C-alpha cells in the first residue's frame, strides 16, 4: 500500500505532547454544510463580508436574519462526519490538545471534542442587542421576521463574530497560547484568508511547530507548510489518526518489552 503519510509526520504526531488544530468551513463540507467561498447556490450572490457584519444587520436586518435562519435550519439537520470523529480520537491520543475552530456549527462539540475554542461564535446562540438577554434557536426561529427580545423589545442577533468585530478575548488568548506551545499545528479545511484566525499557523511556526495543512486545494498557507496533505478532511483525517494510533501502540509494545 503506497505510504500516505511521511514517517516524519507520523513520528512527530505520535511523540507530540502538544498538538493544536485549526479548522474552517471545509471540515464541515462533508456533513453538508456549505463553505463560504464555495458555490452555495442561493447565497452565492452574496459575499460573507456583505452579510456577516453589523452594518449589514442594521441596514437590512430581515435579509441578514433570512441568511442565518437558513443556515440554522441546515445546521440543525446535519451531523458530524468522519473528519470530526477522527479529531475526537486524536484529542484522546495527545496529552495537550486544542481544537481551535472558525466554524459556528457546533459540530466539533457534537462529535465529542472537548477542548474546543470557538473563535467566531456559535450559531446555536443568540442575544439581544439592547439588554444582552440570551436566546436559543428554538426561541428565535419561532418568531417571525427579525426576532425581538421578550424582555425589552430590542433586536436579537446571532452570537457570531461579524467582520469588523473583535473575537471573544478569552477564546483568542487560549488559541494563541495553544498555537505557541504546539509541536505540531494542523490547519484543516480553511482558505486561510480570515484574520486574526489565519495568523495562528504563523504563531505556531514561529514557535517551532511543524506546520501541516490538510485541504483539497492550495491556500496562501500552503507554501509555508512543512507538509501539505491534499484532499478531503473526511478521508484524510481517519487514515492519519489511524496511523498515529498504530505508531503509538507499536511504541508502547516496544517499550514494554525493554
Residues with catalytic roles: 120
**159 forms part of the interface with Zn ion (CB under 5 A):** no
- Do 87 and 94 meet the contact criterion of CB atoms below 8 Å apart? no
CA nearest to 105, candidates 164, 17, 23, 216: 23
**54 or 181: CB nearest ligand BV8:** 54
Residues 6+ apart with CB under 8 A from 162: 52, 53, 54, 56, 57
Taking CB under 5 A as the criterion, the residue among 16, 128, 175, 225 binding Zn ion is 128
**154 or 168: CB nearest Zn ion:** 154
Residue 128 binding target from ligand BV8, Zn ion, none, CB below 5 to 8 Å by type:
Zn ion
**Taking the complex as a whole, how short is the minimal distance between the CB of residue 143 and Zn ion, in angstroms?**
13
Task: Tell how strand 96-101 and strand 18-23 pair up.
Answer: parallel
**Taking the complex as a whole, how short is the minimal distance between the CB of residue 49 and ligand BV8, in angstroms?**
6
**88 or 129: CB nearest Zn ion:** 129
Mapped onto helix, strand or coil, the DSSP state of residue 78 is: coil
Round to whole Å and give the CA distance between 46 and 135: 27
Judged by CB under 5 A, the number of residues near Zn ion is 8
- Do 210 and 12 meet the contact criterion of CB atoms below 8 Å apart? yes
**250 forms part of the interface with Zn ion (CB under 5 A):** no
Name the residues that contact ligand BV8, by CB under 6 A: 24-26, 29-30, 35-38, 48-49, 52, 102-104, 120, 160-166, 189-191, 193-195, 215-217, 219, 232-234
CA 58 to chain centre: 27
**130 forms part of the interface with Zn ion (CB under 5 A):** yes
**54 or 88: CB nearest Zn ion:** 54
Q: In terms of C-beta density within 10 A (0-12 exposed, 13-18 middle, 19 or more buried), how is residue 111 classed?
A: buried
**Taking the complex as a whole, how short is the minimal distance between the CB of residue 61 and Zn ion, in angstroms?**
15
Q: Please report, as ranges, the residues that interact with Zn ion according to CB under 5 A.
A: 128, 130-131, 133, 149, 151-152, 154
Amino acid at each position: 500500500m503506497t505510504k500516505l503519510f511521511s514517517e516524519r509526520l507520523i513520528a512527530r504526531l505520535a511523540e507530540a505532547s502538544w498538538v493544536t488544530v485549526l479548522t474552517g468551513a471545509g471540515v464541515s463540507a462533508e456533513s453538508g454544510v456549505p463553505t463560504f467561498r464555495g458555490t452555495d447556490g442561493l447565497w452565492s450572490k452574496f459575499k460573507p463580508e456583505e452579510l456577516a457584519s453589523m452594518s449589514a444587520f442594521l441596514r437590512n436586518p430581515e435579509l441578514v436574519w433570512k441568511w442565518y435562519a437558513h443556515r440554522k435550519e441546515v445546521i440543525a439537520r446535519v451531523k458530524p462526519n468522519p473528519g470530526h470523529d477522527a479529531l475526537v480520537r486524536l484529542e484522546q491520543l495527545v496529552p495537550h490538545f486544542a481544537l481551535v475552530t472558525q466554524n459556528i456549527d457546533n459540530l466539533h462539540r457534537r462529535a465529542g471534542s472537548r477542548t474546543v475554542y470557538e473563535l467566531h461564535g456559535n450559531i446555536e446562540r443568540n442575544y439581544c442587542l439592547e439588554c444582552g438577554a440570551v436566546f436559543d434557536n428554538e426561541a428565535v426561529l419561532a418568531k417571525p421576521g427579525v426576532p425581538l427580545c421578550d424582555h425589552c423589545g430590542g433586536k436579537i442577533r446571532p452570537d457570531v463574530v461579524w467582520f469588523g468585530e473583535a473575537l471573544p478575548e478569552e477564546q483568542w488568548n487560549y488559541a494563541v497560547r495553544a498555537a505557541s506551545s504546539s509541536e505540531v499545528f494542523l490547519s484543516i479545511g480553511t482558505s486561510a484568508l480570515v484574520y486574526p484566525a489565519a495568523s495562528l499557523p504563523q504563531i505556531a511556526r514561529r514557535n517551532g511547530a511543524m506546520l501541516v495543512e490538510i485541504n483539497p486545494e492550495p491556500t496562501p498557507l500552503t507554501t509555508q507548510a512543512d507538509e501539505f496533505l491534499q484532499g478531503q478532511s473526511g478521508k484524510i483525517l481517519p487514515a492519519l489518526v489511524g496511523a498515529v494510533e498504530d505508531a503509538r501502540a507499536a511504541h508502547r509494545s516496544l517499550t514494554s518489552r525493554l
